[in-house]
Structure 1
Amino acid sequence: MKTLQRAFRSTRTAVLATLAALALVVGGLVTLTAAPAAQADTQICDQYGSTTIEGRYVVQNNRWGTTATQCINVTSTGFQITQADGTATGGAPKSYPSVFNGCHYTNCSPGTNLPAQLSAIGTAPTSVSFTYVGNAVYDASYDIWLDPTARKDGVNKTEIMVWYNHTSPVQPVGSRVGTTNVAGRSWDVWTGNNGSNDVISFVAPSAIGSWSFDVKAFANEAISRGLAQNSWYLTSVQAGFEPWQNGVGLAVSSFSSSVNLGAGSSGGSNSGGTSGGGTGGTGSASCKVAFTPQTWSGGYTADVTVTNTGSTAVNGWKAGFKLPTGQTVTSAWNATISPSSGSVTASNLSFNAQIPAGGSQSFGFQGTYSGTFSPPTGFTLNGTACS
């Protein structure tokens, strides 16, 4: 018999009209054994069954809040809920079927470099695409777990939740404390504590179907609000659903997550452009660019880190580069990119306009390609070629 653990999660209050308004939510149980790899579509109905996809992520059924049956169909890129019996009768949801990178109750995804100290992480690009249905009560959330120690089990100190979508009357734990802009989007911000850990939730004003961002942007926001420290560890990131009623058809159609240690460096990153130096912004702006892609058939995400190797700060930046024929930018974060193909320019947003001497700024984008993927070329910073 596999050993199971229960933990309190930061899930939502005010679930159904008849439910208690601010109930604490209890977290999921998971198996403590290594997950088997999924070869083709795999049906999981075991309460805490899990498997791996793409040789690097874990998909878990994680039906912890009900005795009723829940089944998921695991594909090569995600999963879909195919059976979701029962209805939650308290503040907690029925489950949290999800896909994750990192370590969750000692179940670690293959080859992960998590836990990793926030101060050691250069970038952490990620992307997820959700499929929604109209006959369920649920939230679709991206969870970021932080802890003062490099723990691989148990509840972490702070949970960051990025809510892509939710249905009435579901709401986050705690109370709404205002709005903010993180990673180029506006969010309603909720904070609270579920009895086990602090929770900060970023709730999208309207449903997001697919989006890519840098996990570090949300970690930095938590740090700025006193809910984490740069010396803490990122232990896992997860994307999935918390259903209270029904849920059949809800799906994570794609998921990607990378954690790049060091300022813009990681294995497999490609440098674009030619060497050079010159003037950009308000001073000397010799520059270096690291381009880190994550590809799948016909599509990719990319994280780009521009480092100012000059002696003075750059105030206001434009990063130019040329996309190979057949590539198109479909979305971007931490920058605006125009046009969508050919020779393009990524321009800073209001919150990241300065690149200090010796410092860097990162942005990212999602795109499509035809044929064989190739990285962009000819990177420039304010018109000056970068190495």
Structure 2
Amino acid sequence: MRVTAHRLSRFASAVLLTVGATAASLVAATPAHAATICEQYGTVVAGNYVIQNNRWGTTATQCINTTANGFSITQQDGVGNTSGAPVSYPSIFLGCHYSNCSPSSPLPKQISTIGTASSSLSVSYPSSGTYDAAYDIWLNADTNVSGVQDTEIMIWFNRQGSIQPIGSQTGTANLAGRSWNVWTGNNGGNNVVSYLFTGSPVTSLTFDVKDFINDTFSRGSQYGNANWYLTSVQAGFEPWIGGVGLAVNSFSASVTTGGGTQVPGTPGTPSASNVTSSSLSLSWAASSGTVSGYQVERATGSGSTSFSQVGTPSGTSFSDSGLAASTVYRYRVRATNSAGASGYSGIVDVTTAGGGTQVPGTPGTPTASNVAATSLSLNWGASSGTVTNYQVERATGATSTSFTLVASPGTASFNDWNLTANTTYRYRVRAVNSAGSSAYSGILNVTTTSGGGGGSGCTTTSSVQSSWDGGYVLTVTVTNSGSAAINSWHSTVTLPSGQAHTGSWPAAAVVSGQTVTEASLAWNGTLSPGASTTWGVQVSRPVGSSTLPSVFACTTP
């Protein structure tokens, strides 16, 4: 049911029928399986439930056949405007609907006292028609069930045709083991929260109604709280066009008492820390009582009351990120458990820092590895903050302060070569970004090894490891061609014009124009006469080209 004006007129008609002589024929105590209902607002008792025809949106004929715990539509002649309201809501319900209460109804019942509200149903659908299959949950601020209730929760198991819920989609939810799109709106008489299943039509489901109630409460205080009352649960259909063959094959619902769990106490007003231009941390005093979790809500702008949920932490802290610089954000928190939600905490206003990029933090002092006669590798601890690249500076001599820039790597490592054997080098590093440069790191002194003896030499050859249209991988072999052992080597491959280096291993090669040079590392630099080692290089080339490098070189510095 969707439009309050229709529902109010239906209620007025029902009152007249109740006081008239025809009321007895419309509200029957006969077994549900024996009844066919065609009267506009006819109902029949079915055990603990009531089945209603509820043709409130049209004067055209609608009939339903009832069973012991369900019904099916056998005739539906009405035609509704698909951009407006449906023609009816035939349904089976537990509770009270416009003062018509099911036998020995446990409803209305205050939500804070409900432990579980279990329900199960099985439905089937025809092959045509414009309709939705909807489970209705009605909530009210008090126990008055004679008129329009305050909040309607609709669970749409199936939707056929160009129809949609009231309002607009405002979120998503994962409930009853399924994913739902959540719509919120108001039909002029009450708030409506609708859950649309995102998968294939649901034909059977067993779930806890309280899961949907609690999720609804999390979407705003206007939808109610645990002090409100559950007044009825209903399973049925809203046809616009057609609908013959729609059937609730079975329905059950029960409500249990919650065993004394109370709504949590109100948590403390949040306090903010670690505020940056894009993030902050919140903490608050814990709520009293049993707490399942907290709901953190945020509004943007000083004085704003447009809060939306941004987090559901289990503890009393929350980190928010992705914020805008120099912006006021407002936060409030409430606690939840199976009984419902607490009142909201006080509101804290927090202004993020300005958005200017800050100078990076100082990088760590470099450490050296793979030290050979003419090469070495450096690594250092990364700087904090935003880093565009690093600047590696080198000085020659154990006490020299004449540093010069030798590299600007984008990561916290660098391979240096073309060095002199048995020489002390000094290195320092700093980080840079658009705001400037960090302080220099500590200085590292490192001495290269003594290098190989006389009669040394090496050669470079290659073979294709793999190739494709647009690139290839070479395995490059370095061989000691001399008569004495070597302790280091530089192997060079010259790429043909139009080709480009895209990667190399085990170390990052130095690329200068078309020349790719790989330097030995500590573990592969020492080669006895005739011994060899390999390295790899990946190259891109124009599509359709099969040209490979033909110029190679090798030196033993």
TM over 0.5: yes
Which structure has the higher relative contact order (CA within 8 Å, separation 6+)? Answer: 1
Measure how far apart 1:183 and its partner are: 2.7
Look up the equivalent residue of 1:201 and give its one-letter code.
S
Q: Identify the match of residue 147 of structure 1 among 128, 140, 145.
A: 140
Distance in 1, matches of 2:337 and 2:211, equals 14
TM-aligned CA deviation for residue 151 of structure 1: 1.4
Query: Match of 1:259?
Result: 255
How high is the sequence identity, in percent, across the aligned residues?
A: 53
Partner of 1:216: 210
Counterpart of 2:175 in structure 1 is 182
Measured against aligned partners, the alpha-carbon deviations of 1:320-349 in whole angstroms (never above 9, x if no partner) come to xxxxxxxxxxxxxxxxxxxxxxxxxxxxxx
Q: Which amino acid aligns with 1:246?
A: G
Q: Is the 8 A contact 2:113 2:260 kept in 1?
A: no
Shift of the alpha carbon at 1:77? 1.7
Q: Which residue, 128, 133, 139 being the options, matches 2:121?
A: 128
| 2:38–2:61 CA contact under 8 A, matched in 1 | yes
Against the structure 1 CA distance between its residues 77 and 154, is the aligned structure 2 distance closer, same or farther, given a 3 Å change threshold?
same
Q: Give the distance between the partners of 1:198 and 1:313, measured in 2 at CA.
A: 27
Are 1:137 and 1:245, in contact at CA under 8 Å, matched by a contact in 2?
yes
Which of 64, 68, 82 is the equivalent residue of 1:72? Answer: 64
Listed one character per residue, the Cα deviations across residues 303-323 of structure 1 (whole Å, up to 9, x for unaligned) are xxxxxxxxx999xxxxxxxxx
* 1:126 partner letter: S
Distance 2:68 2:226 in 1: 35
Q: Which residue of 1 aligns with 2:230?
A: 234
Q: Which residue of structure 1 aligns with residue 77 of structure 2?
A: 85
1:341 aligns with: none
- Is contact 1:61-1:71 (8 Å) kept? yes
Task: Name the counterpart of 2:109.
Answer: 116
Question: In structure 2, do the counterparts of structure 1 residues 148 and 42 end up closer, same or farther at CA, with 3 Å as the change threshold?
Answer: same
Within a 5 Å distance, the mapping from 1:344-355 to structure 2 comes to none
Structure 1 distance, partners of 2:131, 2:172, is: 22
* Aligned twin of 1:51: 44
Cα distance between partner residues in 2 of 1:27 and 1:221: 26
Provide the residue aligned with 1:247 in structure 2: 243
1:12-23 pair list within 5 angstroms: none
Deviation at 1:86, TM superposition (A): 2.7
2:7 to 27, 30, 35: 27
Check 1:192–1:96 CA distance in 2 against 1; reply closer, same or farther (3 A cut): same
Aligned residue type for 1:210: S
SS in 2 for 1:222: helix
Inter-CA distance 229–82: structure 2 relative to 1 (3 Å threshold): same
Deviation at 1:101, TM superposition (A): 0.5
Superposition deviation, residue 91 in structure 1: 1.2
1:138 Cα shift? 0.3
CA distance in 2, matches of 1:254, 1:237: 14
3-state secondary structure, aligned to 1:218: helix
Q: Say whether the 8 Å CA contact 1:10–1:193 is kept in structure 2.
A: no
Partner of 1:277: none
Cα distance, 1:76–1:159 mapped onto 2, change above 3 Å: same
Deviation of 1:352 (Å): 12
Please tell me whether residue 168 in structure 1 is matched to residue 161 in structure 2: yes
Q: What is the CA–CA distance in structure 2 between the aligned matches of 1:82 and 1:44, rounded to whole Å?
A: 10
What residue number does 2:325 align with?
Answer: none
Q: Is the 8 A contact 2:120 2:204 kept in 1?
A: yes
What is the one-letter code of the residue matched to 1:62? N
The answer for unaligned runs of 5 or more in structure 1 is 1-8, 12-23, 266-311, 315-350, 363-387
Whichever residue aligns with residue 244 of structure 1, its letter is W
Q: Which runs of 5+ in 2 are unaligned?
A: 19-23, 262-289, 293-311, 316-335, 340-557
The whole-number CA distance in structure 2 between the counterparts of 1:197 and 1:59 is 23
In the other structure, the counterpart of 1:138 is 131
d(CA) in 1 for partners of 2:313 and 2:102?
Answer: 33
Deviation at 1:118, TM superposition (A): 0.4
Q: Name the aligned partner's letter for residue 131 of structure 1.
A: S
Q: Deviations over 1:201-239 (max 9, x none)?
A: 000012100001111101111111122111000011111
State the alpha-carbon separation in 2 of the partners of residues 264 and 73 from structure 1.
41
Give SS of 2:142's match: coil
> Residue 185 of structure 2 aligns to a residue in which SS?
strand
Map Cα deviations across residues 217-273 of structure 1 (whole Å, 9 max, x no partner).
Answer: 0111111112211100001111100001011110111010111123399xxxxxxxx
Matches within 5 A, 1:263-342: 263=259
Q: Residue 212 of structure 1 aligns to which amino acid in structure 2? A: T
Determine if contact 2:129/2:161 at 8 Å carries over to the other structure.
no
Give, in whole Å, the separation in 1 of the partners of 2:197 and 2:313: 21
CA distance in 2 between partners of 1:264 and 1:85 (Å): 49
What is the CA-CA distance between 1:25 and the residue it aligns to? 7.6
Provide the aligned C-alpha RMSD in A.
2.9
Aligned partners of 1:352, 1:125: CA distance in 2, in Å?
27
Give the number of the structure whose alpha-carbon radius of gyration is greater. Answer: 2
**Aligned twin of 1:61:** 53
CA 1:231–1:85 in 2, change beyond 3 Å: closer, same or farther? same
Q: Deviations over 1:166-197 (max 9, x none)?
A: 11211100001121112322100000011111
> 2: CA distance between counterparts of 1:84 and 1:132?
14
